[in-house]
A and B are shown apart, each in its own frame.
Chain A
């Protein structure tokens, strides 16, 4: 291995240790997997009295909130400022993405960063629409619905289901991207999200 490769983007920057994802990012990621799956499944197939769906939704809300805060105060790879890039960098990355070699990004790549921000935004929108929705069944009323007009509670209700479909598509896209990196680019993105470390 040449020196150039050794100090490339795949290697941990000096001073950061060899930890790619800190424990907070990892715990929040897998907690979101569980909470989102629970909220989604209970919403679609759960009982008509949706108490558990509500709890799952509150959990998602807490995770999104913590992740956004961590995006400002967390370590380097967790911070929005370190991974959100302009259109030039996004296009440049997207152009070389089909190449059959590992990206060796230390942290979110510029295209992945778009997904991170996008999914946090849509999740926040989904939480908000759920909190404001009133399905007029007197048992599954969003806790904030009473503070807004009936027009807004209906708009929120009308938004909640299409957003759930959008989120499902985003999750499938996310998993497909990981499969693409694994199979096509020969890069394992799952292990670092579990152990925090990236094999050199």
Chain B
């Protein structure tokens, strides 16, 4: 009996570890999906701003509004501890400094939010209004990537 219990215990350790690993993998997947969606909407706006796609006020407004909706999600759980590049190499580029300096990271998020609010106002108001607003939001993307995201996995 004791042997059975012991082997069950031994078997349970890696099983639990695998489970814990999975929860963190799921967090990373959700986080990357979140940024994929943000990027998808931003890509639509950037294509218009750069003249690759013809400007369409309604579509532009929809892209901006969708980004506003996305950033309205409760994003704290996307940044659960133990989900950095160091924890899960090859799966995420989120640098550990996010968790070490959450305040600075959140400041970048606020700058992004402010630029997005401007874009949301400008998006439907013509190409000339859209272009600088897209540039500013792209700059906010870059500012955060520079400090908090690795260039490669």
Chain B positions within 8 Å of A158 at CB level: 150-152
Q: Which residues of A contact B134 (CB under 8 A)?
A: 138-139
Let me know if A155 and B138 touch, CB within 8 A: no
Distance from B66 Cβ to chain A, minimum over Cβ atoms (Å): 15
Query: Interface size on B (CB < 8 Å)?
Result: 19
In the complex, A49 has a CB within 8 A of chain B = yes
Q: Which of the residues B139, B150, B151 comes within 8 Å of A47, measured between beta carbons?
A: B139
A137-157: CB near B (< 8 Å → 1, else 0) gives 111100000000000001101
Q: Is the CB of B143 within 8 A of A48?
A: yes
The proximity string for B residues 112-152 relative to A, scoring 1 for CB distances below 8 Å and 0 otherwise, is: 00000000000000000000001110111111010000111
A179 contacts the other chain (CB 8 A)? no
Contact residues, B16-66 vs A (CB, 8 A): 39, 42-43, 45-46
Q: Which residues of B contact A138 (CB under 8 A)?
A: 39, 42-43, 45-46, 134, 138, 141
Closest partner residue, chain A, to B43 (CB atom) = A138
B70 to chain A, nearest CB (A): 15
- Residues of A contacting B152 in the complex (Cβ-Cβ under 8 angstroms): 154-155, 157-158
Inter-subunit contact A49/B139 (CB<8 Å): yes
- Range, interface on chain A: 10 to 19
Answer yes or no: A136 CB below 8 A from chain B CBs.
yes
Residue among A137, A157, A158 with max Cβ neighbours from chain B (10 Å): A137
Which of A50, A137, A139, A154 is the one whose CB lies under 8 Å from B151? A154
B151 contacts A48, C-beta separation under 8 Å: no
A47–B138 alpha-carbon span in the complex (Å): 11
Question: When the two chains form their complex, are residues B142 and A140 in contact, meaning their CB atoms are under 8 A apart?
Answer: yes
Other-chain contact of B139, A139, A154, A155 (Cβ < 8 Å): A139
A139 to B140, CA, bound (A): 10
Tell me the nearest residue of chain A to B35, going by C-beta.
A136
Contact of B135 among A136, A139, A160 (CB under 8 A): A139
Instruction: Out of A137, A157, A161, name the residue touching B138 (CB < 8 Å).
Output: A137
Name the one of B45, B140, B150, B153 contacting A48, with C-beta atoms under 8 angstroms.
Answer: B140
Question: Closest CB of chain A to B33's CB: distance in Å?
Answer: 15
**Is A135 interfacial (CB-CB < 8 Å)?**
yes
State whether B153 touches A137 (Cβ < 8 A): no
Q: List 9 A-B contacts (CB under 8 A).
A: A48-B142, A136-B39, A138-B39, A138-B138, A138-B141, A139-B141, A139-B142, A157-B151, A161-B151
